[in-house]
Amino acid sequence: MLRPWFDAGGPLMWPLLVCSILLAAVLVERLWSVGIRHLVLGWRLPEGRLIAHRRVLPFFAEVPPALGLLGTVLGVVQSFRLLDGGIDAEAIGSGLAVACTTTIFGIGIAVVAAVAGHLLDWLTPTAKPVKEAVAT
């Protein structure tokens, strides 16, 4: 089901796939640490363990959209190069598909990371914000 989308996205779909797999791993770890161990079982975890997501999730909110934007630029450049040799609607559409697909996946990964980060911050209200934690 996702294979045609992946193929349409071009070579930058591989780093986006790696980002999505790593994000899934981080979210599973956070679900286990914060959700189950801390909230359900009531285990007292060090504050550093409770807010560990604040160092990792911003990466996933910033890098995948940049990769998607890079894919957009590459797809548009590919379409313009094809226009030089003559008009081939299918080839131009392929370049635009690369542009749109990488953008969709990059932004999708970032949205999941941002929402997860806000939910985790909401679930751990006792943890200090990063700026306060660094200052003390």
In this predicted structure, the answer to whether residue 14 has a pLDDT above a threshold of 90 is: yes
pTM: 0.81
Instruction: Please indicate whether residue 51 or residue 84 has the higher confidence score (pLDDT).
Output: 51
b/e code 76-91 from CB counts within 10 Å (16+ = b): eebbeebeeeeeeeeb
3-state secondary structure 56-101: HHHHHHHHHHHHHHHHHHHHHHHHHHHHHCCCCHHHHHHHHHHHHH
Instruction: Domain ranges for the chain, please list them.
Output: 11-135
Distance separating alpha carbons of residues 103 and 116, to the nearest angstrom: 20
**Percentage of the chain with pLDDT > 90?**
46
